Amino acid sequence: MILIPVDSSTEHYHTCKAWLEEKGTTKWLSSIFRYAKYPKLIHEMLITNKKNKLFFISVDNRLVGLVGFSNIDLIDRRAEIWYLVGSQLDRGKNIAPQAVDMAKNIAVKDLHLLTLYANVPEPNAASIKVLNKNGFNYVGKYRNAFFVDGVYRDFLIFDWVNPNIELEPSKNCLK
């Protein structure tokens, strides 16, 4: 498995478009991608915005999914991670956990990030399993913050902190 940066080529756009317009695939994604069209303008904005990094997941020279970072903050050294396996036939084959592990390495080595976080709608057990396999911890939730299948669901928050970085203790501003 390798991760390939997504670019603005027509081939890359059409591959992303096919996955990001398929309702079964996008059901658990942020509202901008859920049940919507994926115009070329959105693709261009997604890949040219410096706060995003998007990679194809390639297995045996075949593109099978996406893994990416959004809201990259180089000052606070954090980003949101997200992922999807594009084909139903490729799901359940340990592709997403491996891709997230590889993305964590990019986050640390290339982007010098300290923390990654993910937001997962409560009923998305497969995504929660991916995060648990990669050392993410459940840290809280946004109540009734995700509308899917005609129902508002909780949005669970997970984070991962690079264990190899020594930090100064922070002062708790909530005390």
What are the pLDDT digits (tens) for 52-81? 999 999 999 999 999 999 999 999 999 999
> Strand 115-121 relative to strand 78-85: parallel, antiparallel, unpaired?
parallel
Rounded Cα distance between 168 and 2, Å, is 35
- pLDDT interval class at 92 (50, 70, 90): confident
On the question of pLDDT at 171 being above 60, the answer is: no
Alpha helices per DSSP H over 77-116: 95-109
- pLDDT: which is higher, 174 or 41: 41
φ/ψ of 41, rounded to 5, equals -60, -45
Share of the chain above pLDDT 70, in %: 91
- pLDDT interval class at 167 (50, 70, 90): low
Q: pTM of the entire structure?
A: 0.88
Rounded Cα distance between 81 and 159, Å, is 9
CB 54 within 8 A of CB 70: no
Average pLDDT of the segment spanning 121-125:
90
Fold of 2-117: Aminopeptidase (3.40.630)
Predicted local distance difference test score (pLDDT) of residue 137:
97
On the question of pLDDT at 173 being above 50, the answer is: no
Average pLDDT of the segment spanning 94-123:
95
CA-to-CA separations, 44 to 3, 67, 138, 157, in angstroms, rounded: 19, 17, 33, 28
